[in-house]
Amino acid sequence: MNTQTHHHEKDKQDLNKFGYAQELLRSMGGFSNFAISFSIISILTGAVSLYGHGLTYGGAGMMGFGWPLVALFVMIVAASMAELASAIPTAGALYHWASILKNKRWGWYTAWINLIGQIGIVAGIDYSVALFADPLLSDVFGYSSTNTTILICFAVILLSHGILNHVGIRSVSRLNDFSAWYHIVIVIVLVVSLAFFSKGSLNSVDYLFKVGETFSDKPYMFAFLIGLLQAQWTFTGFDASAHTIEETVNPRVRAPWGIFTSVAYSFVFGFIMLAIVTLSIQDAGAATGADNAFIYVISEALGGDFGRVILWLVTAAMWFCGLSSITSFSRMMYAFSRDKGMPFSKQWAQISKKFRTPAKAIWLSVVLSFLLALIDYIIKRNNPDTTYTTIAFLTAVSVVGLYVAYGIPILLKLIAKSQGKFQAKHLGPWHLGKYSDIIGILGLLWIVFISVIMVIPPNEMAGYALGGMIIVLIIMDFAYYKNHFPGPQAALGTSMAEILRREKELESNPSGGSGISHNG
């Protein structure tokens, strides 16, 4: 038996002990697993599309202090999640972790809160692409960029991502690999261009750490906290490495590293990029007053044609980010539907026989993401005096939804550990050792803090939307799912002890278990 075959058999058995058959095509390597999270984090999407938001509220100091502050705490959260991915390597990720560590109802709520965040992140990413692509296209074709044309552009972008994800994981995996390198190269191109070809001289490094200047009507410290949305939204979606864990070879090591290193590399490259862009600002007030602060800064620094080429390259990176986010969202939906956690679950759990992808889940991801932006569009058409921006609304929904979902299994693991239900023998090969508890507690404190900050005025609409969604979830739960949701690995218990028992059974009879498929 060669090494690759051995890995595939071991990975299959690891999945079997959680009660599932190997249905998805397991072909992703370690770099591909890292690449999907790195591409969804996409410093050329979050940090760029919300650059004006960060600059408006926190000034230049938002880039010098806000970005590293958020990155530090996100790496703490990511480390705790990586540890759980190594222990419980299924595509359900957060949802399965919560179910196994506590019970199926905790898992059900975790899954739905994560899905809400996934809708927000896909909508936010692809809307960001449209915010850049539509003005650039309007210059080429001579039309005026409006909210309507941006929405149409957004729909076309979503459609392209749906088609490519439908075609197959191999093509998307290759594009994700390319995307990771592309992001790094474009950051280097952007930095070199601004450093050596800027029309004006760069500010001194001190400017990057300038605090006290805000272009909002809020006191600076309060405004600074609001501005953290820029960095916090950038560092979302790294759970994609866990959602694609059933398609990754040697996943209990590679997926955890994918989660953690995607955040770490994004921090480093993102800081370098934000530093040079901010140091190239000639008039911060004019930049915050422009329709798109990042486009304004690049255009002023590099001039017309050169600036537009750079902006198109950045827009392409955003497009790759959206492609990866649909992959992650659809895998989460597939895993949840496989366990009958959604209305019409049988449909969303179907695998395309030709492409071995969750095709219907992919298209549902596209439709739901479009509807979130469409609802916001309709609200703004009927209330043109609203002060919040669409991108801030979409991104805040995704931040709170995703991070609350990240926090639930971390909290449940700490509780299970204190009760002796989660022990050292339950850990995977990637773990935090004696620092596990303190890292988990720090991560939870940050999640609580940031979840409050993201929904306070001027972004209270995101809070209202999330509150409404939670009320709908509670109604769904008590009306049906409380008594009818079988939970994950329905044929087994949901405790770590039962999973270890299954593992020993499979080890003693390697050919005796093939897992339980969602149809079985």
Percentages of the chain per state (helix, strand, coil), in multiples of 5: 75, 0, 25
28 — phi, psi (to 5°)?
A: -80, 135
How big is the CA angle at 298 (ends 147 and 66), to the nearest 5 degrees?
85
Backbone angles phi, psi at 440, to 5 degrees: -65, -45
- Any bridge partners for residue 248, and if so which? 28
Q: How far apart are CA 78 and CA 87, in angstroms?
A: 14
| Element housing 278 (H / E) | helix 251-279
Give me the residues of the chain with pLDDT under 70, please: 1-27, 168, 387, 489-495, 497, 499-520
Contact 245, 34 (CB under 8 A): no
Instruction: Look at residue 240 in the predicted model and tell me its pLDDT.
Output: 86
Question: CA triplet 255, 256, 257: central angle to 5 degrees?
Answer: 90
Q: Residue 471's closest CA among 118, 113, 104?
A: 113
d(C-alpha 469, C-alpha 293), whole Å = 32
CB 405 within 8 A of CB 120: no
At 384 the pLDDT is 82
pLDDT of 413 reads: 95
pLDDT of residue 43: 93
Give yes or no for a contact between 348 and 358, defined as CB atoms under 8 angstroms apart: yes
In the block, tokens 């992140």 appear at 121
The residues spanned by each domain of the chain are 26-119+171-327+393-484
**pLDDT at position 162:** 94
Checking 192-198 for CB contacts under 8 A at 24+ apart, the result is 193/302, 193/306, 193/310, 194/276, 194/277, 194/279, 194/280, 194/298, 194/301, 194/302, 195/276, 197/302, 197/306, 198/280, 198/301, 198/302
Q: Which of 366, 427, 500 is nearest to 18 (CA)?
A: 500
* CA–CA dist 327, 243 (Å, integer): 9
Tokens of 353: 């026989």
Helix (H) / strand (E) containing 301: helix 293-302
Cα-Cα end-to-end distance for the chain: 29
CA–CA distances in Å: residue 393 to residues 114, 115, 198, 444, 462: 17, 16, 33, 23, 5
Nearest Cα residue to 172 out of 342, 335, 329: 329
Q: Which CATH class is domain 26-119+171-327+393-484?
A: mainly alpha
- Cα of 125 vs its chain's centroid, Å: 9
Q: What are the CA-CA distances from residue 245 to residues 102, 106, 240 (Å)?
A: 22, 21, 8
| DSSP symbol at 510 | T
Distance CA 479, CA 88 (A): 30
Contacts of 429 (CB under 8 A, 6+ apart): 86, 252, 253
pLDDT at res. 512: 47
**pLDDT per residue as tens digits for the range 478-492:** 999 999 898 886 445
Half-sphere exposure of 300 (CA within 13 A, CB side): 20
pLDDT of residue 24: 64
CA distance 69 to 227: 12
